[in-house]
A and B are shown apart, each in its own frame.
Chain A
Amino acid sequence: MLGIKINKRVLQKISPIALGYLVLGLACGMLGQKAAITPLEMLAMSIFAYAGSSQFIGIAMILQSASFFSIGLTILIVNLRYVLFSSTLTPYFSKRKLPFLALFTHGITDETFAVNLTSFETETDPYWTHEEALALNFLGCVVWALSNAFGCYASEFISLDIHLVSYILTAMFLGIWVNYLVNRTMILVGLTSGILAVILAQIIPFKLHIVISSLFCSGLACYITRHQKGGQNNE
Chain B
Amino acid sequence: MSKEYIWSVIILMSIVTYLPRSLPMVILSHYNLPAWFTRWLTFVPTAIFGALVFPDIFLTDNHINLALNNIALWTTVIIAPLAFKTKSLGYTIISGTLVYAVLQALV
Q: Which residues of A contact B51 (CB under 8 A)?
A: 193-194, 196-197, 209-210, 213-214, 217
Residues A186 and B40 in contact, CB atoms below 8 Å apart: no
- The A interface is mostly helix, strand or loop, or mixed, namely helix
CB of A54 closer than 8 Å to a CB of B:
yes
CB of A41 closer than 8 Å to a CB of B:
yes
Q: Which residues of B contact A125 (CB under 8 A)?
A: none
List residues of A (3-51) whose CB comes within 8 Å of B's CBs.
15-17, 19-20, 35-37, 41, 44-45, 48-51
A176 to B36, CA, bound (A): 25
Residues B96 and A44 in contact, CB atoms below 8 Å apart: no
Residues A198 and B55 in contact, CB atoms below 8 Å apart: yes
- The B interface is mostly helix, strand or loop, or mixed, namely helix
In the complex with contacts A81-B48, A177-B53, A197-B50, A222-B40 CB distance below 8 A: yes
Residues B47 and A170 in contact, CB atoms below 8 Å apart: no
CB of A1 closer than 8 Å to a CB of B:
no
With beta carbons under 8 angstroms apart, the residue of B87, B94, B96 that contacts A179 is B87
B26 and chain A: residue at smallest CB distance: A101
B3 and chain A: residue at smallest CB distance: A41
Q: Which residues of A contact B87 (CB under 8 A)?
A: 178-179
Q: Which residues of A contact B38 (CB under 8 A)?
A: 91
With beta carbons under 8 angstroms apart, the residue of B1, B33, B76, B89 that contacts A65 is B1
Minimum CB–CB distance from B74 to chain A (whole Å) comes to 11
Residues A16 and B93 in contact, CB atoms below 8 Å apart: yes
Q: Which residues of A contact B25 (CB under 8 A)?
A: 86-87, 89-90, 93, 101, 104-105
A229 to B84, CA, bound (A): 26
CB of A181 closer than 8 Å to a CB of B:
yes
Residues A189 and B93 in contact, CB atoms below 8 Å apart: no
Q: Which residues of B contact A177 (CB under 8 A)?
A: 46, 49-50, 52-53
List residues of B (8-46) whose CB comes within 8 Å of A's CBs.
8-26, 28-29, 33, 36, 38-46
With beta carbons under 8 angstroms apart, the residue of A19, A81, A82, A170 that contacts B76 is A170
Please report A residues at the B interface, Cβ cutoff 8 Å: 15-17, 19-20, 35-37, 41, 44-45, 48-51, 54-55, 58, 61-62, 65, 68, 71-72, 75-76, 79-91, 93-94, 96, 98, 101-102, 104-106, 108, 110-111, 114-115, 117, 161, 163-164, 166-181, 186-187, 189-198, 201-202, 209-210, 213-215, 217-219, 221-222, 225-226, 230-232
19 pairs of residues in contact across A and B, judged by CB atoms under 8 Å: A16-B88, A36-B6, A45-B13, A54-B16, A76-B20, A83-B23, A84-B44, A93-B29, A167-B72, A170-B76, A175-B89, A177-B46, A177-B49, A194-B50, A194-B53, A195-B54, A214-B48, A221-B43, A230-B39
3 tightest A-B CB contacts, nearest first: A175-B92, A171-B96, A194-B54
A58-B9, A170-B72, A221-B43 provided; 8 other pairs, C-beta below 8 A? A19-B90, A37-B6, A90-B24, A94-B29, A177-B46, A189-B43, A189-B50, A197-B54
